[in-house]
Structure 1
Amino acid sequence: MKSTATQLGAAQIKRTFSWVDVIVLLGVFGLLWTILHFGRGMVIQFDENQSPAISTDIRSIPYYAGRTVLRMWLAFVFSLLFTFSVGYAAAKSRAARAVILPALDILQSVPVLGFLSITVTGFMALFPGSLLGVECASIFAIFTGQVWNMAFGFYHSLVTIPKDLQEAATNFRLSLWQRFGTLEVPSSMHSLIWNSMMSFGGGWFFVAQSEAITVLNKNIKLPGLGSFMATAVENGDNTAAVWAIVAMLVVIIASDQLIWRPLLAWADKFKIELVESGDAPKSWLYTFLRRVYIFKWIDEKISGPLSDASIRLKKALARLEIIPAHSRGAAGRWVSRLLFGMLALWVVYQMIVGVMAAAHAVYDHVSWHQFLRLCFLGLLTMGRVATMTILATLVWTPIGVWIASKPNVARFAQPFAQIAASFPVNMTFPFVVGFFVAAHISINWGSIVLIAMGTQWYILFNVIAGAMAIPNDLKEAATTYGLHGWSLWRTLILPAIFPFWVTGACTAAGGAWNASIVAELATWGHTTLKAEGLGAYIAEVTQKGDTPMIICSIAVMCIFVVITNKLLWRRLYEHAEKRFHLD
């Protein structure tokens, strides 16, 4: 990890309380008040026969934006917890990896509408008479739009940690928590932040679906920017649609300035290189927060003493030797294995029951002719997904490498790329549908553009992350050997970014299947354009509430995605891990 004399010198400067700490404390209390203010609306009474009315008055936009942002960040927190636990288990246990990776492949392929169809009724039953049930379903839907890319990216980062660092951690006899906190999370931080940015954008992409829930003959709209936009789309209200777009742009830019850019500047110290890079990411907020003393005071006066007391208590209990140390370790392992086994059996049992019930419903109501028709529609959608992935790779790989090589450009390109990645495709319908109609462009081809608008950015973000993660000493070595042009790309750039590209392309392809549900059935007011494909079919049967066909069509989509992942992406992951591993 990087450690420079400048950083050490800055750390030695003695600081005391100042006006900066007052501003930060006011900001923290303001944030807590904001969370409580918008959170109160999540627990009001609710009657599913009388959904909350959504106003398209622009004066309601600030409140709706706050409700949406709260849902997005709650979903992100759960996504982060899932990423750390599941990604870590997959990287550390071969048995867990054999279950987790295929499960993630399947879950990634399930459309957001599929999760909503399954969870809305369950969450509403869990919180009867309260809006919290629908809020939980909405947050869970946003969670499913964020989490898979983060989990795959974290897993990939863990399995590609340089061996010399792993051996050093072993030689220092670091505990699991110490190893996790001092090696594994810092080593994956750069990739994790970029994937988090992309995943947060993925949540925005499906925010309209998650807030304007139209499944199983239910039409429920939660207060938020997504439902505001959905109502504007239904009414053909161009003014409201434009204001919703402006509000979303403001929120995304604020997130970039207040969250992502400071995190990138902070994470630069975890970059693995022997020679410090000349241009580091900069953030005005990170520079400001480095002057804060209150956090250091809390660490010295509260957290530090509590941690020391905990260590002393642990040592005192260990000296009692009530149970021999080797017995405690063995007993703990057996108890954890027993609990894990019981949990796994319960999950498997519930899955078998659910699959059997779904299979019975499909068998009774779906004919072979309908199933073959679904497979044909799946092939059409797969062709669009493949076309998008290839074109996005050819276009965004050189652009992403160029952006990463120019820190000044990256500072300006990052928010624009994040805005584009976060832009819900249905917000383009006022312009795209009209353009397709005026230009006589078939939606069968135009849907490829709509799919790309929501998913090509996974490739761009991962390529940027991979190129920025190239150690500066390798860049200097390439310069010393006179590498340039294609020889530089072939020997340094492509091998360095390939593992990141695999993560981005795999997630983009998986996200494209999900995006096809929105892109293949574009509606604006009374105008509807429908492409022949599995995505449009799923959107139609979901709105009708045809449960057997919902199950069958989603199952067909899952089969296509899982087969593609097994035959293509999994092999590319293994190739990247074996061939392009930095040691």
Structure 2
Amino acid sequence: MALFTANISKRKFSIIDFFILAFIFILFYTILKLGAGMSIPFSPKQQPAISLEPNMLPYYAGRSLLRMFIAFGASLIFTFIYGYIAAKNKFAQKILIPLLDILQSVPVLGFLSVTIVAFMAFFPGSLLGVECASIFAIFTGQAWNMTFSFYHSLVTTPKDLQEAATILHLNWWQKLIKLELPVAMIGLVWNGMMSFGGGWFFLAASEAISVLGENIHLPGVGSFLAAAVEAGNMEAIYYSILTMLIMIILVDQLFWRPLVVWSQKFKIELSESSDMPSSYVYNLLQRSALIRLINEWVLNPLCKVFNCIFNQIAELSTAASLSMQSRTSIKGLPTIVPLCLTVGVLYLLAEPAQEAFAMLAAMEPRELFSILQLGFYTFIRVIIALLLGLIWTIPIGVKIGLTPKLSKIFQPVIQIAASFPANMLFPFITILFVKFHVDFQWGCIALMMLGTQWYILFNVIAGTSSIPNDLIEVSSIFNMKGWNKWKTLILPSIFPHLVTGLITASGGAWNASIVSELVSWHENDLVATGLGAYISQATTQGDWPKIVLGITVMCIFVVMINRFVWHRLYRLAEVKYHID
């Protein structure tokens, strides 16, 4: 399918095409130049020095952006594979979805403690190992939210459209690209935007790594900020914040805003709104003759080849499945592939889980109770952070989602606020807490909210933007206003997206506790009693048993919440609150 189709035959080459061509060449040259710096020789004793000179920030910004987009590409691949298997196979769903909820809640520093050593062993003497560990940490901040969104879109696809696909005898590949991906697109774009914003948070944590007794710094804006905070250099901190703002604005205007406008074509509705979101970049691309040629000569042929290959695979897999079912009496044969994948995952987790439970068994009851108590304190903060986030994100998100003019104005602002790494603001907030003697046991909830409330807001906006315009017109015809409109149209429409937002915000809150319950500025340290501070201190000290125990207790809390809260809300969203 062509990406830009309006007035193709009338386009002629212009100055716009010259700038687009120059941009493409500069982009590819920059990627090659930055990529070369990722594989230089490296050792913990001889690592790249982080300069606090402002003229180095453009290079550091490029390195950070390259890590972000590599991690985002990996997150997309993971989203499509993991989310599709979980949605299409009931057996896999029972294991993969709870596992996904656990994975999104395991602290990034817990991942880094394991992965950095493994990646450095894969690439000995090269910076590429540390780069991969950093990219993997960013991936863990992006993938889960997008996967939840895609999975939920698949399980709530309107039944009449599913029946139409069955009547037309579409194979699984045709159904995916013609029905399921279009239905999921709006939610996927908004959650991708949120996930990318969450990646900035983990970028800052993964570029300046203090783990297992080693201090490792990668060239990037995050490590620049860490070095500035360590040196108490306020001027360098301001420069890093300004650089981060410029990066976020450029990515929003050049990448995300055009995608938001493009995704509106996939909205399920019988009538089109007269007030649609717009993007100057998207309009320029539509008028470009160069983009038309690239689309016709490169993208369309590649898509046709790709589509043909997967169509053949889908036909062969369907025929093989039918053939095997006709030759065997084993009814559960279609679950073999997900079963093998699940067994593989459990096998990889078996040894770490055995070690964790062995440590738990060897602990004294008093010490174990103390860690569980720390987990309970963090749990209370997570709940408070979610409730406070709900109070303001639902009305604001619905207003923006229903008003494209407001969306055009506030989307860049929200994107900047959501994407800006909350831990970059921690030094300033720490100074205020120290100056005004704020009780950090409660004050750390504000730090936790800075990194989690946006998950709820973006999902509310995505859910509101997905409300068919014909339903909005019907509500106007029947003069629905106030609470009647909210309970009849708005809340039921956004409920599935709201559940996704709450799940990812909950996981983000547990993850954010690792940096929110222990902050420092120069010689001042603020510590809140909780599981996040416990894991953070253990990670800095390189105390591996405590790291494993802390993460294990956190996983226990997450599993319990998943089983008794999120699983039931997801089921309610699947059965009752989706558009058919």
TM-score, length basis structure 2: 0.93
Counterpart CA distance in 1 for 2:140 and 2:148 is: 13
In the alignment, does 2:276 pair up with 1:280?
yes
Counterpart CA distance in 2 for 1:246 and 1:58 is: 11
In the alignment, does 2:242 pair up with 1:249?
no
Q: Which residue does 1:531 correspond to in 2? A: 528
Q: Which residue does 1:154 correspond to in 2? A: 150
Distance 1:534 1:305, change over 3 A: closer
Q: Which residue does 1:381 correspond to in 2? A: 378
Q: Which residue does 2:567 correspond to in 1? A: 570
In the alignment, does 2:345 pair up with 1:352?
no
- Classify the secondary structure of the residue corresponding to 2:80: helix
One of 394, 397, 410 as aligned partner of 1:397: 394
Question: One-letter code of the match for 1:20?
Answer: I
Question: One-letter code of the match for 1:355?
Answer: A
Q: Which residue does 1:118 correspond to in 2? A: 114
Question: One-letter code of the match for 2:57?
Answer: I
Q: Percent identity?
A: 51
- Classify the secondary structure of the residue corresponding to 2:525: strand
Distance 1:264 1:12, change over 3 A: same
CA deviation map 1:131-161 (0-9, x unaligned): 0000000000000011111000111111111
1:302 deviation in Å? 5.4
1:260 deviation in Å? 0.5
Q: Which runs of 5+ in 1 are unaligned?
A: 1-6
CA deviation map 1:270-310 (0-9, x unaligned): 11111101211100000000122344434544565677789
1:218 deviation in Å? 1.4
Mapped contact 2:440–2:528 kept (Cα < 8 A): yes
1:361 deviation in Å? 4.7
1:408 deviation in Å? 1.7
In the alignment, does 2:258 pair up with 1:262?
yes
Q: Which residue does 1:3 correspond to in 2? A: none
Distance 1:99 1:225, change over 3 A: same
Mapped contact 1:64–1:223 kept (Cα < 8 A): yes
In the alignment, does 2:406 pair up with 1:409?
yes
TM-score, length basis structure 1: 0.92
Q: Which residue does 2:127 correspond to in 1? A: 131
Q: Which residue does 2:422 correspond to in 1? A: 425
Counterpart CA distance in 2 for 1:543 and 1:139 is: 20
Q: Which residue does 2:229 correspond to in 1? A: 233
Q: Which residue does 1:477 correspond to in 2? A: 474
Q: How many residues align?
A: 572
Distance 1:78 1:305, change over 3 A: closer
1:112 deviation in Å? 0.4
Distance 1:174 1:255, change over 3 A: same
Mapped contact 2:72–2:196 kept (Cα < 8 A): yes
- Over the residues paired in the alignment, what is the CA RMSD in angstroms? 2.7
Counterpart CA distance in 2 for 1:559 and 1:524 is: 32
1:13 deviation in Å? 4.4
Q: Which residue does 2:172 correspond to in 1? A: 176
Question: One-letter code of the match for 2:353?
Answer: V
1:51 deviation in Å? 2.9
Mapped contact 1:249–1:419 kept (Cα < 8 A): yes
1:87 deviation in Å? 0.7
Counterpart CA distance in 1 for 2:208 and 2:490 is: 43
1:509 deviation in Å? 1.1
Mapped contact 1:478–1:488 kept (Cα < 8 A): yes
Mapped contact 1:389–1:509 kept (Cα < 8 A): yes
Mapped contact 2:91–2:335 kept (Cα < 8 A): no
Counterpart CA distance in 1 for 2:62 and 2:498 is: 34
Mapped contact 2:89–2:335 kept (Cα < 8 A): no
1:478 deviation in Å? 0.5
Counterpart CA distance in 1 for 2:307 and 2:499 is: 42
Mapped contact 2:92–2:339 kept (Cα < 8 A): no
Distance 1:129 1:273, change over 3 A: same
Deviates more, 1:294-303 or 1:495-504: 294-303
Distance 1:304 1:135, change over 3 A: closer
CA deviation map 1:6-35 (0-9, x unaligned): x98x34643344443333232222211111
Counterpart CA distance in 1 for 2:317 and 2:548 is: 53
CA deviation map 1:365-411 (0-9, x unaligned): x4332211111011111111101111110111111111122222211
Counterpart CA distance in 2 for 1:311 and 1:147 is: 25
Counterpart CA distance in 2 for 1:211 and 1:304 is: 38
Distance 1:450 1:483, change over 3 A: same
In the alignment, does 2:486 pair up with 1:489?
yes
Counterpart CA distance in 2 for 1:349 and 1:100 is: 14
Aligned pairs for 1:249-328 within 5 A: 249-301=245-297
- Classify the secondary structure of the residue corresponding to 1:470: coil
- Classify the secondary structure of the residue corresponding to 1:214: strand
Mapped contact 1:238–1:430 kept (Cα < 8 A): no
1:354 deviation in Å? 2.8
CA deviation map 1:182-204 (0-9, x unaligned): 11111111100100111111111
- Classify the secondary structure of the residue corresponding to 1:458: helix
Q: Which runs of 5+ in 2 are unaligned?
A: none
Distance 1:395 1:129, change over 3 A: same
Counterpart CA distance in 2 for 1:307 and 1:374 is: 53
Distance 1:373 1:314, change over 3 A: closer
Distance 1:535 1:105, change over 3 A: same
One of 453, 458, 462 as aligned partner of 1:461: 458
Question: One-letter code of the match for 1:162?
Answer: P
Distance 1:113 1:327, change over 3 A: closer
